[in-house]
Structure formats: structure tokens, C-alpha cells
Amino acid sequence: MVAQLPLDENGNKIVRIGHSPDPDDAFMFHAMTTGAFPTPGYNFVHELQDIETLNHRAMNSDLEVSAVSIHAYPKISDDYALMNCGASMGEGYGPMVVSMQGATEEQVRSNIIAVPGLKTSAYMGLRLAWGDCEVAVVPFDEIIPRILDGTYLSGLIIHEGQLTYVKDNLHVHIDLGVWWNDRTDGWPMPLGGNVVRRDLGQQAMEDITLYTKMSIEYALESPEDALAFAKKWGRGIDDATNKEFVGMYVNDRTIDYKPEGRASVRQFISEGQELGLIRKDFDVTTMAFIGSDEEDRTQL
């Protein structure tokens, strides 16, 4: 049975889009949630929450559309389909483990590492790279402050922290995007993706995916308003840092994962299964991306 969505005063279906309060997601969804272009039959509204909260809301099939961690996708795949647009992928960069200057990697690995959530792709990447580390879950925007005040020796930073750590003179022990890129012959590291709820029906899933793609394209072609909007969620970053961070995670691959991007997602999930972090019965060889013809599907 196709889910019935509430209607606005004009008879359009109200679709809630959950995304992280960070510049790249805000940039991506700006056009479709502010009416910058027509979306006949749909009224898109956004709800902002941290990625770990969104991962758990998706496990309850709450929102119609959501940004989620690729790590979390197999657990929600019965209820949500992964779009072929909206990817956040590290092209030779990604989440980092940082500490104050002077700490050695051995010290970092033998102490508690602050992480932004156990369902984040950053955490799974850390486990793949460093094995079974002792961690504490800390809101992503509090990790650097907790390193600076001595609560934790190190932390796994995501979002704009990947740029702003420099001003605090923190030392990078591992960049997981570089690590993944090196070990996969250049594939980007999968971090986040957009999902759409299956009970909306195939047509609605395709419509919403198309409008999401159009929103990304609109922002890339006319970035001024979207960048100004995105900056509101950058926690005090300046214009140059805002633009740099958005450019890192909203680009051609955000419009289309492309063959190597889809292959990288499948590889990342497959390795997570081997580690025991992802359900064993999820079939990476048959997973589909809404909006892709899947001719390049990689068999693992």
C-alpha cells in the first residue's frame, strides 16, 4: 500500500527532508526547500538534525527523505531506497583522527577516541583502518572543544571540522579519505547518501530523486544564494571556508555517484560486513540506486 502524505493548502504532498546542520547538505537542499524552481505536486520542507540522529530516525522509517550514513544504509534498506544523487564522498580526503600536538599514534590508539556516532561512516572507516578502538560518542560539533579542554586525547572529526582543525593547531594522525583512496586505487570514500522511503511508491521515489538532483544542479549553477544559506550552518566559518567545504562534498559526483562511486559504496559495505558492523544478509551485488541505470553494477 502506498503511503498517503499530508497535503498543503494547494494540494501538494508535504515531503519532509532530514539533513545534517552542515553546509554541504544545506547547500544541496536549498533550492528544493525554498521554492527556487517548480516542484509540481510536492512541497518540500527540511528538518535539521545531526547525522547520528538521522540514522536512528531512519531506522524508525520516520522521514520521507533523509541524509544517512552509508554505514547505516543496509539496516534501513528494507524501508528506504538509496538515491543516485546526493552523495557525500571524500575524493582523497575525509574524516580525520586529530589530537593536540605531541601525542603519538600509539598513545591515541591506546586511549579513548571521541567519535560522532557508532552508525556513522566515519566510525566504520576508523574500525576498518585501526581495528577495535575504544571510543566515546560525542556530538560532532563538540569533539574539537573536548580535545582542546583535555576531556579526550583525540577525536574523529567530520563536517567543517576537517578544515577548521588547522586554526586550533591540531595534529592529524590519519585521514580516512586518503587511507581509503590509497587502498582502493583511487576510489572516493563513501560517507553519506540520500534515501527515500519505499512506501511512497516507485513514481514518488523517482520524482523526489529527480527534484533532489535538480536542486543540487541548481545550487551548483547559481551558488550565491545557496552558499549564503549554507553558511548559516557552518558554526561561525568564514565565506572562504564555507565555499571550500561545500566544494569538497557537493560536486559532479553529488549529481551522480558514477561507476566508481557506486563500486566504492558496495566495497565499503562489503568490508563492513566482514568486520561484523553490517548485517550479513545484505546483498551488495543487487543493491540499486534510484535514478541510475545500473549498467555498471560491480559484482563483488
Q: Is 280 a residue whose pLDDT tops 80?
A: yes
Q: Is 263 a residue whose pLDDT tops 70?
A: yes
Whole-number Cα distances in Å, 1 to 79, 202, 235, 289 = 13, 12, 42, 22
Tell me: the pLDDT tens digits for 267-278? 999 999 999 999
Model pLDDT, residue 236:
64
Dump strand ranges (E) for 146-188. 154-157, 171-175
CA distance 185 to 193: 22
DSSP string, 71-117: GGHHHHTTTEEEESS--EEESS---EEEE-TT--HHHHHTS-EEES-
Tell me whether strands 189-197 and 88-90 are parallel, antiparallel or unpaired: antiparallel
Helix (H) or strand (E) holding 267: helix 258-275
Tell me: the pLDDT tens digits for 97-114? 999 999 999 999 999 999
Q: What is the dihedral of CA 85, 88, 91, 95, to 10 degrees?
A: -170
Domains of the chain, each with CATH number or no CATH? 13-89+190-290 (3.40.190.10), 96-183 (3.40.190.10)
pLDDT cut 90: percent of the chain above it: 74
SS (H, E, C) 10-39: CCCEEEEEEECCCHHHHHHHHHHHCCCCCC
Tell me which amino acid residue 43 is: N
Residue 213: name the closest of 287, 291, 293 by CA.
291
